[in-house]
Amino acid sequence: MAYVNSSRAASFSLADRISGVLALIKMQIARRSVYNQTVRELVQLSDRELSDLGIARADIHAVAHEAAYGK
């Protein structure tokens, strides 16, 4: 008995590609929003409040980047 196995490369339509790009843009906008909100909230804290959280004022942008984009 003979078996036939055929494989085709997945082809993505233009609509699939556009949808993928739009999803990527949407995700990047959401991450940037988280970054901006985190920076805004941390900047408003006093040095004492930041110290209680274990964050130096100079580290605010690094902490916001980690919150939005991960390590």
Output 6 or 49, whichever has higher pLDDT.
49
Alpha-carbon distances of 10 from 14, 17, 21, 39, rounded to whole Å: 13, 13, 18, 42
Instruction: Give the confidence band of 59 by pLDDT, cuts at 50, 70, 90.
Output: very high
pLDDT of residue 41: 97
The yes-or-no verdict on residue 1 having pLDDT over 70 is no
> pLDDT tens for residues 18-43?
999 999 999 999 999 999 999 999 99
SS3 61: helix
Question: What mean pLDDT is reported for the chain?
Answer: 92
